[in-house]
A and B are shown apart, each in its own frame.
Chain A
């Protein structure tokens, strides 16, 4: 493992498999226990540095660090000296001066975690940067697929929706390709980024043609907060052409699963009855997120300081 986890490409196949296996063992070790806590990172300090809003990722990282007995400091840009104009670098150096061993960062600017990694001595984990990457989300998605389908090699994954703004899609395409899955990206032409042709994935504009062959359908959130231009005529039209409803779910194979990284826009990219169906892994993904992030923190911080 590298010292930082900044993007999915930091993990080669053996590293990624090690993370997934470690997460599985942590999950098995903690299942059914009264004391859901391990002493592994006692005395280590993990800072959650969040410049963007987040519910599940921040709580998931906080819980993961606490279950490994690390001390956790939650920093959110709102209500901090950031509002007085303090820079990312000064904030990071301040936190490090107080003794942080790892920084988990979410930032609106793509590449902020890379910058941060060049300034601090401890490990940096990217918890989502702009429209760039969200590697732990891809790891927990891969973990969920493997847990449900028993394999990743040759699994056909359709990633559907706002690929242009989605760091989840970027990380998933890279990681799932590393792990041997076949990814097809599905979106209206306006929601593909420039250069998507060079990604290790197929590209399609037609959801109905892709669904019957898919083992996994991963719906992406339509990111209204990043929509600065009109990418599609109306929400209703988007939903009709690229939303997953009960009719579309019916053409899926028997074992196919439906995923969503959350938060969902019910009725937009995914219908409520699909999100709550037995095929949906949305709640499992959240639970698996804690195990996967525990594995990442253990593998980055558990050994000797480099």
Chain B
């Protein structure tokens, strides 16, 4: 990304230019995750130990683990991580074929009375987040729930917004945003593909 400011001191990796067509390169993703970790620390204040990062599978789960590792590295406070599978809570099950389930894992201390931050890779319609909120309601009663996403691409269909956004990306509805993470895909990268003829949000 030519023209962006120099790398922040907290960035671990040397700058790698984004591959042609890629919106974020591996080092961009690392920098964005570092910034979000700092924001989480800042906003949580002295209740950082209360924080639970809950990833939405597939890619929200490794993202939550990365964020927790960076928050720990910057603050020295150990952060609980979990995942919540939303498949059984989706509102579009009848529109598609049946899907395989993924893991739901909560920290031993649970989520009651704690600050839960849901973590996902892309925020689009907001329906995944709604399903995750429904799932959380069956799992316990957090003090508050917030949302962290790597990419916000717009086109919400529900009154949902993110508290922490890695990158806002205006897209056309016809486009698709592809987040790839090393844990799942072998490489860190964010791409926008498809024609952009539709008007921007």
Are B101 and A26 in contact, CB atoms less than 8 angstroms apart?
Answer: yes
Query: Is A21 interfacial (CB 8 A cutoff)?
Result: yes
* Nearest CB in chain B: distance from A239 CB, A: 43
* Nearest CB in chain A: distance from B197 CB, A: 30
Identify which of B88, B98, B138 contacts A35 (C-beta below 8 A).
B138
Q: How far is the CA of A62 from the CA of B134 in the complex (A)?
A: 24
Question: Given the known A-B contacts A33-B138, A303-B94, A304-B95, are A40 and B100 also in contact in the complex, defined by CB atoms under 8 Å?
Answer: no
Are A25 and B103 in contact, CB atoms less than 8 angstroms apart?
Answer: yes
> Total A-B pairs in contact (CB under 8 Å)?
53
Question: Given the known A-B contacts A39-B88, A39-B134, A298-B88, are A29 and B104 also in contact in the complex, defined by CB atoms under 8 Å?
Answer: yes
Are A305 and B88 in contact, CB atoms less than 8 angstroms apart?
Answer: no
Interface size class on chain A is 20 to 34
Query: Is B96 interfacial (CB 8 A cutoff)?
Result: yes
> Which of A18, A303, A305 has its CB near the most chain B CB atoms (within 10 A)?
A303
Q: How far is the CA of A1 from the CA of B99 in the complex (A)?
A: 11
Interface of A is mostly: loop
Query: Is A280 interfacial (CB 8 A cutoff)?
Result: no
Question: Given the known A-B contacts A29-B85, A39-B88, A39-B134, are A303 and B96 also in contact in the complex, defined by CB atoms under 8 Å?
Answer: yes
0/1 per residue, B144-176, Cβ < 8 Å to A? 000000000000000000000000000000000
Are A298 and B98 in contact, CB atoms less than 8 angstroms apart?
Answer: yes
Are B94 and A28 in contact, CB atoms less than 8 angstroms apart?
Answer: no
Query: Is A38 interfacial (CB 8 A cutoff)?
Result: yes
Are A304 and B138 in contact, CB atoms less than 8 angstroms apart?
Answer: no
Query: Is B9 interfacial (CB 8 A cutoff)?
Result: no
Question: Given the known A-B contacts A304-B94, A304-B95, are A22 and B100 also in contact in the complex, defined by CB atoms under 8 Å?
Answer: yes
Question: Given the known A-B contacts A38-B88, A303-B93, are A25 and B138 also in contact in the complex, defined by CB atoms under 8 Å?
Answer: no
Are A303 and B88 in contact, CB atoms less than 8 angstroms apart?
Answer: no
Query: Is B102 interfacial (CB 8 A cutoff)?
Result: yes
Query: Is B74 interfacial (CB 8 A cutoff)?
Result: no
Question: Given the known A-B contacts A33-B139, A37-B138, A38-B89, are A25 and B96 also in contact in the complex, defined by CB atoms under 8 Å?
Answer: no
Query: Is B97 interfacial (CB 8 A cutoff)?
Result: yes
B80-139 interface (Cβ within 8 A of A) = 85, 88-89, 93-105, 134, 138-139
Q: How far is the CA of A282 from the CA of B140 in the complex (A)?
A: 32
Interface of B is mostly: loop
Question: Given the known A-B contacts A35-B138, A39-B134, are A29 and B88 also in contact in the complex, defined by CB atoms under 8 Å?
Answer: yes
Are A28 and B89 in contact, CB atoms less than 8 angstroms apart?
Answer: no
Are A1 and B98 in contact, CB atoms less than 8 angstroms apart?
Answer: yes
Query: Is A299 interfacial (CB 8 A cutoff)?
Result: yes
Query: Is A108 interfacial (CB 8 A cutoff)?
Result: no
Identify which of B94, B139, B140 contacts A305 (C-beta below 8 A).
B94
Are B94 and A25 in contact, CB atoms less than 8 angstroms apart?
Answer: no
Q: How far is the CA of A40 from the CA of B138 in the complex (A)?
A: 13
Residues of B within 8 A of A1 (CB): 98
Are A40 and B103 in contact, CB atoms less than 8 angstroms apart?
Answer: no
Are A25 and B134 in contact, CB atoms less than 8 angstroms apart?
Answer: no
Query: Is A302 interfacial (CB 8 A cutoff)?
Result: yes
* Nearest CB in chain A: distance from B90 CB, A: 8
- Given A40-B88, A40-B93, A304-B97, 18 other A-B contacts at CB below 8 A? A1-B98, A22-B101, A25-B101, A25-B103, A28-B103, A29-B88, A29-B104, A33-B138, A35-B138, A37-B138, A38-B138, A39-B89, A298-B88, A302-B88, A302-B93, A303-B96, A303-B97, A304-B95
13 contacts between A and B (CB under 8 A): A1-B98, A21-B101, A25-B102, A29-B101, A33-B139, A35-B138, A38-B89, A38-B138, A39-B89, A302-B98, A302-B99, A303-B93, A304-B95
Q: Which 9 pairs between the two chains have the least Cβ-Cβ distance?
A: A303-B98, A25-B101, A29-B104, A40-B88, A35-B138, A38-B88, A303-B97, A302-B98, A22-B101
B residues within 8 Å of A by Cβ?
Answer: 85, 88-89, 93-105, 134, 138-140
